[in-house]
Amino acid sequence: MSSKITRRSVTAGLAIGALATPGLSIVSGRAQAKSVKMAMIAPLSGPWARQGQLLRQGAEMAIDEINQKGGIEKLGGAKFELVVGDAGDSTEKAKNAAQRLLSDQPDLIGGFGAWLSSFTLAVTEVTERAQLPWLTLSYSDAITNRGFKFIFQTSPTADWQAAETIPTALKLAEAATGKRPKTIGIIQDNTASPVSFGKQLREGGGLDKAGLKAVVDQIFTPPLSDATPLVDRVRSAKPDFLLLLTSAMPDCKLVLEKLDEFKLARGKIPLVGNGAPFGSPELLKTIGPELLEGLLFSVANWPLKGQEEFIESFKKRTGEPFLTQDGLCGYGHTWILKEALERAGAADKLKVAEAIRAMNLTTGPAARSFPGPIKFDDRGRRVDVPMIFAQWQKGIPLSVYPEDRALSKPFWPTVS
């Protein structure tokens, strides 16, 4: 291999070298002299880019509302500005994005992200050291188990959700049918969040406490190539309901289609899931409304009563068929930071953090965006948060629990 070097190849090398020089990355909603900056770090490229995009749309919508209403009042009407970092597809990229934002933007007052738990863990290692208040919707318990002072987790943690999902589902079933389910089937993959969920059920005593017997208990490694062996067990064991903990859509699709093929879908065996992916527009597009009808899932945050106006304007603005957890949280987190700024009275991250810690919001756009009050404990977890359940009803996942704020009434699927 002794080809000759050419001028062209040298030029190409130089061009690549020039590209290699890292520069600043600032995407600003609106640049103005006296603006106050907040950060968002989320995956905007790679497999989770869509979720990051939804978060961003929610945040941008909140920013626009805030600025239209006169900006930050206590700061003389200063405009609120969003600075965005791409967490990409790896923890390394997420951490780099955080470090970059903090280096480029020394006057940030707070931020939120980074959607995937492991990204959030990496990002908050940076923000904590910089004493930047950071909000996240990620579920992992580890995020608020590290003794960090500047992290605020608006979602109930994964363990708590695991502990609450089953009892709440049983309550719904009993209310609807008058009978309490006795057996459960579990199909899950072995990624981070289903594993911690499953651990709570099996080793944490979640099943025993609920008086449930697991007649099917299957863990698979994604991607699933064929769901037949899993669903075959469901067919023979006939559990009273099936807990589906899949984190990837193709796997979810395979299981649902196989259930349908075995005549177990469409209410024959009620399905319960956990996590926002179960209510995503993509799931609807891939699987269709018929197979999804009746599927219940617990989730950290979902559109509730009192948000109708926001839901409509979000749909109009983005063209999405319905609002989900991501858009809602991007919106809500931005509003929480705005409220904190008003209470702090200064564009100072330490004072903003202090304001978030002292916060107890029950009204206003921030409080409306989350179930329960905006109030954090010492670890940065919200207190008095109810579990939310949503259910697919005629092609739309609607919140059905808690009753006082739910948009619809739940039904426990039964064979007609």
Partner 1 sequence: MRTRAEANRQRWAILAFCVAILVLSFGVLKSAYYELVLTQVLLWAVLSLAWNLLSGYSGYFSFGHAAFWGLGAYTVALGMMYLDLTPWISIPLCSVVGAAAGALIGYPTFRLRGHYFALAMLAYPLATLYVFQWLGYQELTLPMKREAPLFYMQFTDPRLYVVLALGLLAAALLITLWVENSRFGMSLLAIKQNEPAAEAAGIDTWRWKMLALMLSGAMAAVAGGLYAVVLLVVTPEGVFGMLVSAQALILALFGGVGSLWGPVIGAVVLVPLAEGLNAELGDVLPGIQGVVYGFAIIAIILCAPEGVYWRVLDYLARRRPARQASLAPAAAAPGNIAALPRIPASRGGDLLVLRDIGISFGGLRALDGIDLAVPEGGLYGIIGPNGAGKTTLFNIINGFLAPDRGAITFAGGAITDLRPNQVCRRGVGRTFQVVRAFPRMSVLENVIVGAFAGEADDAAARRMALSALDRVGLSAQGDAIAGGLTTRELRLMELARALASRPRLLLLDETLAGLSHDDLGGILAVIRQLHADGTTVLIIEHTMQAMVRLVDHFTVLDHGRLIASGRPQDVVRDDSVIEAYLGKKWVDRVASTAK
CB of 141 to partner 1, least distance (A): 10
CA distances, 28 to each of 31, 84, 111, 134, 180 (Å): 6, 8, 14, 19, 53
Give one DSSP letter per residue of 310-335, joined into a string: HHHHHHHHH--SS--HHHHHHHHHHH
CB of 163 to partner 1, least distance (A): 18
CA proximity to 95, closest of 120, 117, 112: 120
Choice between 7 and 316, CB closer to partner 1: 7
CB of 48 to partner 1, least distance (A): 11
Site of interaction with partner 1 (CB under 8 A): 1-3, 5-6, 8-9, 12-13, 16-17, 19-25, 27, 44-46, 49, 84-86, 88, 90-93, 95-97, 99-100, 102-104, 117-118, 121-122, 125, 128-129, 140, 142, 146-148, 190-192, 195-196, 199, 221
Tokens of residue 42, six digits: 């989320």
Choice between 146 and 180, CB closer to partner 1: 146
Tokens of residue 157, six digits: 């943690």
369 membership: H or E segment, kind and range: none
Choice between 87 and 172, CB closer to partner 1: 87
Return d(Cα 381, Cα 338) in angstroms, integer.
19
Q: Do the Cβ atoms of 251 and 194 come closer than 8 Å?
A: no
Choice between 90 and 318, CB closer to partner 1: 90
Tell me if residue 154 falls in helix, strand or coil: coil
176 membership: H or E segment, kind and range: helix 158-177
CB of 299 to partner 1, least distance (A): 20
Choice between 44 and 256, CB closer to partner 1: 44
CB of 55 to partner 1, least distance (A): 12
Tell me if residue 169 falls in helix, strand or coil: helix
CB of 21 to partner 1, least distance (A): 6
Choice between 142 and 215, CB closer to partner 1: 142
CB of 27 to partner 1, least distance (A): 6
Choice between 102 and 259, CB closer to partner 1: 102
DSSP-derived letter for residue 196 is H
Which stretches of 178-293 are DSSP H helices?
192-202, 206-209, 228-237, 249-261, 281-287, 289-292
